[in-house]
Structure formats: C-alpha cells, structure tokens
Amino acid sequence: MTISAMVNQIGESGVVAVIRLSDVRRLKSILGAIGAGGVRCLEITMTVPGAVKIIEEVAAAAPAGVLVGAGTVTDPATARAVMDAGARFVVGPVLNLEVIRAVKDRGCVAIPGCFSPTEILAAWNAGADVVKVFPATSLGPRFIRDLHGPFPDIRLMPTGGVSLQNVGEWIKGGAFAVGVGTDLLDKQLIEREDYAGLEARAGQFILAIQEARGQGGSK
C-alpha cells in the first residue's frame, strides 16, 4: 500500500482511534467493535504494556481496509521497531525530525506532534504526511481554521479534546482527520464489556464527520 493510499484512507475515515488501554485482555473485542462501527485507523500507543508485540498481532490479523499504526513514538529506534512489527503509520507527541526521516525511509506515514505554527511548518517541510496538532485541548477548532490561511495544504489532525460533541466543529474548521481516545473508547462501556455500545459510539463519530463534510450519512 502506497503512502498516498494510506494517507487517503486516514483522511477518508476522518478518525484515528488512539488506544492507551492498560488492560489489553479486552483489546481484540474493543478493536472489533469500533472497526464494525466504521473506525478503521487504529493507533496503538507505546504506553500500552507490550505495545510492539500487540501491534504485531493486530497488524497480522487486521482485515482488509484496517490501517494499524503506532503512537507516542519519540525516537527513531522505537519507530523502526513498530514498523518492523507492522505499523503503517507512526504518530509522535512531539516533533522529532529523526523520527520523520526513519518513517519516510520505510515508506510509512509520518504524523509528528506539533503545537505552534513554527513546528507545524517545520514538520511539513521535513516530509510529514499529516501533522498532529497536540494537545488540541487548549487550542480549539478556531486554531485549525486560522492555520488554513497561511497553510492551506498542510493536513492537520487535532488530537486531545476531540469529542463526539465537537468533532464536527474540528472537521468544519478544516481538520484532515481527528485523533480520539477516551471519548471514543468510553471507559464505562469497556468496563461493562458493552461492545455493541462501543460499535454504536464509533458509528456516531463516523456519522458526525460525514455530516460535517456534507457527505450524508452511511458508514
């Protein structure tokens, strides 16, 4: 799968599920539920115990159309390890130019984390395919809209503070996609093992994104 095709898949999906679960026993069921709801870009973070092995297992078993990536990657060695395990996109919480180079050398999608306009432009010029705006909690959708004035071509993915209630605002503001963790992977639903509820919540996110894009409403 080419970088262009993978980037397009992230954009078309509109949401990347940020998975930071400490209890990995339920992970397979959780991923199946949100996948059934239409969320098909999965970011397994390095804060998950045994993350590299989990990425390897999930990537090997992932059905066609599901893109598996790694998150919270802060150094080139970790980037290479997760790509060896099958991650097709690599997300960082900060801007690390060496990580971008390592990811691009392997033909994977580089998504560094940036906060300021200066960092965002530096990441893009270094070859980032998408720029994660993080933490977006303290910035708000208007920040994305304002950035599109000077940077109309940069693909921005706000992460942090994105919820079902405001996801449409981020998309209308110009977000290429959004990264969502706790509001998608609802803790109470997981504790109850309510996988039908998780599937429904994922579907609500997809629908909200489609509506914000004026696409109507089928997953």
218 domain-assigned: no
User: Is 88:64 a contact under the CB 8 Å cutoff?
Assistant: no
177 domain-assigned: yes
Q: Is 204 exposed, middle or buried (CB count within 10 Å of its CB: 0-12, 13-18, 19+)?
A: middle
What is the CB neighbour count within 10 angstroms for residue 83?
22
Note the pLDDT of residue 219: 44
67 domain-assigned: yes
What are the tens digits of pLDDT across the range 131-174? 999 999 989 999 999 999 999 999 999 999 999 999 999 999 99
Mean pLDDT of all residues belonging to the chain = 95
pTM beyond 0.85, yes or no: yes
Domain span at 184: 3-212
Note the pLDDT of residue 218: 46
Domain count, the chain: 1
Note the pLDDT of residue 144: 96
Nearest in space to 108 (alpha carbons), one of 130, 88, 132: 88
217 domain-assigned: no
Instruction: Say which CATH number the domain at 171 has.
Output: 3.20.20.70
186 domain-assigned: yes
219 domain-assigned: no
Q: Which residues are catalytic?
A: 43, 132
171 domain-assigned: yes
CA angle 123–73–23, rounded 5-degree value = 140
120 vs 104: CA distance, rounded Å? 17
